Amino acid sequence: MSSGMDIWGKVTQGANFVQILVNLGLFGYAAALMASTRFYADHNATTPISEGVWERIQLSRKLWANPSSIHEPGRKAHEFMEESRSWVAQAVGLSPTQVVFTSGGSEANTLALWGSELQNKDFRLLTMGIEHSSLLDTAKHLAKKGSQVAYLATDRDGQIDLEKLEDELDLFHPSLVSLMAANNETGALYPIPEIAKLCEKRGVLFHTDAVQALGKIPAAHFNSANMISISAHKIYGPKGIGALLVGKGLSLHATHFGGSQEIKRRGGTQNTLGIAGFGAACREIDLGKAESLSRLRDRFEERLLSRLETRIFCRGFSRLPNTSLIRFPGISADVLLSALDLAGVSASAGSACSSGSISPSHVLLAMGYPREEAKEGLRFSWGTETTEEIVDSVADTLIEIVQRIQERRRSC
Ligand SMILES: Cc1ncc(COP(=O)(O)O)c(C=O)c1O
Output 227-230 pairs: Cβ under 8 A, ≥24 positions apart: 227/112, 227/116, 227/252, 228/92, 228/94, 229/105, 229/108, 229/109, 229/112, 230/88, 230/91, 230/92, 230/105, 230/108
State how far the Cα of 34 lies from the Cα of 28, in Å rounded to an integer.
10
Predicted local confidence at residue 9, as pLDDT: 31
Task: State the average pLDDT over residues 132-157.
Answer: 97
Judge if 338 and 245 occupy the same domain: no
335 lies in some domain: yes
322 lies in some domain: yes
Distance between Cα 273 and ligand 1 center (Å) = 20
**From the alpha carbon of 182, which atom of ligand 1 is closest?**
1
- Of 128, 136, 211, 361, the residue with max ligand 1 atoms within 8 A of its CB, to mutate for a pocket test, comes to 211
Instruction: Name the E strands within 195-251.
Output: 205-209, 227-231, 242-246
25 lies in some domain: yes
Predicted local confidence at residue 12, as pLDDT: 33
Contact assessment for residue 331 and residue 376, using Cβ atoms and an 8 Å cutoff: yes
Pick 263 or 69 by higher pLDDT. 69
Judge if 80 and 189 occupy the same domain: yes
DSSP structural state of residue 319: B
Q: Which of 283, 315, 334 is a domain's end point?
A: 283
DSSP structural state of residue 179: -
State how far the Cα of 281 lies from the Cα of 18, in Å rounded to an integer.
40
Show the domain range for 392: 20-48+286-411
7 lies in some domain: no
Contact assessment for residue 144 and residue 169, using Cβ atoms and an 8 Å cutoff: no
Contact assessment for residue 381 and residue 321, using Cβ atoms and an 8 Å cutoff: no
Q: Which of 258, 283, 308 is a domain's end point?
A: 283
346-400 pLDDT, tens digit per residue, is 999 976 654 456 789 999 999 999 999 999 999 999 999 999 999 999 999 999 9
Closest CA to 287 of 120, 90, 97: 90
How many separate domains does the chain show? 2
Q: Is the CB of 134 under 6 A from ligand 1?
A: yes
* Residue 338: other Cβ atoms inside 10 A: 12
73-107 pLDDT, tens digit per residue, is 999 999 999 999 999 999 999 999 999 999 999 99
Q: Is the CB of 104 under 6 A from ligand 1?
A: yes
- Of 184, 236, 319, the residue with max ligand 1 atoms within 8 A of its CB, to mutate for a pocket test, comes to 184
Residue 164, pLDDT > 70, answer: yes
**From the alpha carbon of 241, which atom of ligand 1 is closest?**
10
- Model confidence, pTM: 0.91
pLDDT-based confidence at 5, cuts 50/70/90? very low
State how far the Cα of 133 lies from the Cα of 77, in Å rounded to an integer.
34
User: How far, CA to CA in Å, does 66 sit from each of 42, 72, 83?
Assistant: 36, 10, 16
State how far the Cα of 185 lies from the Cα of 204, in Å rounded to an integer.
28
Q: Is the CB of 184 under 6 A from ligand 1?
A: yes
6 lies in some domain: no
pLDDT-based confidence at 37, cuts 50/70/90? confident
- CATH classification at residue 317: 3.90.1150.10
326 lies in some domain: yes
Residue 72, pLDDT > 80, answer: yes
Q: What is the largest CA-CA distance in the chain?
A: 76
Residue 318 exposed, middle or buried by CB count within 10 Å (0-12, 13-18, 19+):
middle
Active site residues: 353
Distance between Cα 7 and ligand 1 center (Å) = 36
Residue 4, pLDDT > 60, answer: no
Q: Is the CB of 106 under 6 A from ligand 1?
A: yes
Predicted local confidence at residue 409, as pLDDT: 87
Residue 3, pLDDT > 80, answer: no
State how far the Cα of 320 lies from the Cα of 180, in Å rounded to an integer.
13
Distance between Cα 40 and ligand 1 center (Å) = 19
221-274 pLDDT, tens digit per residue, is 999 999 999 999 999 999 999 999 999 999 899 999 888 899 888 999 999 999
Report the DSSP beta bridge partners of residue 348.
379
Predicted local confidence at residue 30, as pLDDT: 55
State how far the Cα of 83 lies from the Cα of 231, in Å rounded to an integer.
18
Distance between Cα 336 and ligand 1 center (Å) = 24
Contact assessment for residue 400 and residue 305, using Cβ atoms and an 8 Å cutoff: no
Judge if 369 and 334 occupy the same domain: yes
Judge if 81 and 171 occupy the same domain: yes
> Helical H runs in 102-205?
105-117, 133-144, 162-172, 192-201
Predicted local confidence at residue 411, as pLDDT: 86
Q: Burial code of 279-312, b = ≥16 C-beta within 10 A, e = fewer?
A: bbbbbbbeeeebeebbebbeebbebbeeeeebeb
Q: Which of 267, 283, 299 is a domain's end point?
A: 283
Judge if 239 and 347 occupy the same domain: no
Pick 51 or 32 by higher pLDDT. 51
pLDDT-based confidence at 135, cuts 50/70/90? very high
1 lies in some domain: no
Predicted local confidence at residue 10, as pLDDT: 32
Judge if 244 and 96 occupy the same domain: yes
298-334 pLDDT, tens digit per residue, is 999 999 999 999 999 999 999 999 999 999 999 999 9
Residue 122, pLDDT > 70, answer: yes
Among the listed ranges 30-34, 212-216, 348-352, 395-399, which one has the minimum average pLDDT value?
30-34
DSSP structural state of residue 234: G
Q: Is the CB of 131 under 6 A from ligand 1?
A: no
11-21 pLDDT, tens digit per residue, is 334 444 444 45
Task: State the average pLDDT over residues 173-177.
Answer: 98
